[in-house]
């Protein structure tokens, strides 16, 4: 019995989603909760990694229910939440086909990024927004975001993990990159078929640099689709992790 979890979390206390040595991660906390309930080793498979300090409203993960624990999927929600810290909550649990995979079955992901433009950042937004009290031009910001729409080589917007090879694929398709005025600032939304390591933060950082007059729009556009032998051109700024939230993962 394979179960799909929808998970929300405040990323501030954690070193991202994925398990890593000597660090507290969301994946670790979920594995610990599952293992405690099942009284045997159970691990989740996530739809993708989120970085240190990044939040989620709609992270997806799956796990295979151990034999003998095939209870109603909805009962897993309170069972897990009693074992998880208050900063992590399972929102939903449903049964899925045996060939479902949280990562490889995903067709698109949507991230949102909050830019706070008020002169003083409200303390409740600390670690939940990028504070930009300096004026930025929203029209230029929208122009920069439109550069990302379509299928491109995004190598200039990918941080290196150290395991890249000559065959590493940097091509992704972005179907949405929008700017919405909200109370206290702006919300940027990105939807695409997948995102590279720190890609959304690098996309956001470069667009904001353009909107603040620190990066020409033609230079910004030239960062896309760089030839494989020109790795020196990189997005000039990586936005802080705190403003970023994984909001939705879609499946067929």
Residue 159 has a CB neighbour count (10 Å cut-off) of 14
CATH of span 110-245 = 3.30.70.660
Which residues are the active-site residues?
Answer: 51
Local confidence band at 231 (pLDDT 50, 70, 90 cut-offs) = very low
- DSSP summary character for residue 90: E
Question: pLDDT tens across 88-106, in order?
Answer: 999 999 999 999 999 999 9
User: DSSP state, 149?
Assistant: -
pLDDT digits (tens, 9 = 90+) for 29-81: 999 999 999 999 999 999 999 999 999 999 999 999 988 887 899 999 999 99
Q: Which helix (H) or strand (E) holds 218?
A: helix 217-222
pLDDT, tens digit (0-9, with 9 covering 90-100), for 196-206: 999 999 999 99
CATH 3.30.70.580 fits 2-96, yes or no: yes
Which residues partner with 111 through β-bridges? 190, 246
For the chain, the structural domain boundaries read 2-96, 110-245
Query: How high is the pLDDT of residue 227?
Result: 64
Looking at residue 16, what is its pLDDT? 95
Query: pLDDT band at residue 232, thresholds of 50, 70 and 90?
Result: low
Nearest Cα to Cα of residue 144 among 108, 180, 172, 179: 179
Contacts of 8 (CB under 8 A, 6+ apart): 56, 57, 58, 59, 88, 89, 91
């Amino acid at each position: 019995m394979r179960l799909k979890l929808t998970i929300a979390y405040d990323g501030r206390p954690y070193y991202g989603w994925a398990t890593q040595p000597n660090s507290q991660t969301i994946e670790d906390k979920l594995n610990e909760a599952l293992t405690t309930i099942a009284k045997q080793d159970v691990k989740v498979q996530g739809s993708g990694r989120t970085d240190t300090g990044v939040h989620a409203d709609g992270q997806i993960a799956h796990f295979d229910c151990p034999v003998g624990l095939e209870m109603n999927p909805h009962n897993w929600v309170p069972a897990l939440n009693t074992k998880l810290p208050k900063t992590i909550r399972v929102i939903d649990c449903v049964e899925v086909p045996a060939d479902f995979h949280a990562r490889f079955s995903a067709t698109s992901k949507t991230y949102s990024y909050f830019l706070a433009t008020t002169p003083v950042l409200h303390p409740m937004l600390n670690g939940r927004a990028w504070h930009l009290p300096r004026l930025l031009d929203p029209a230029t910001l929208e122009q920069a975001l439109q550069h990302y729409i379509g299928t491109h080589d995004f190598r200039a917007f990918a941080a290196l993990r150290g395991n890249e090879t000559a065959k590493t694929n940097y091509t992704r398709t972005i179907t949405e990159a929008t700017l919405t005025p909200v109370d206290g600032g702006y919300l940027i939304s990105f939807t695409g078929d997948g995102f590279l390591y720190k890609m959304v933060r690098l996309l956001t950082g470069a667009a904001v640099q353009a909107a603040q007059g620190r990066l020409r729009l033609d230079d910004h556009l030239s960062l896309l689709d760089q030839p494989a032998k020109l790795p020196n051109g990189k997005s000039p700024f990586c936005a802080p992790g705190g403003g970023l939230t994984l909001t939705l993962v879609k499946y067929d």
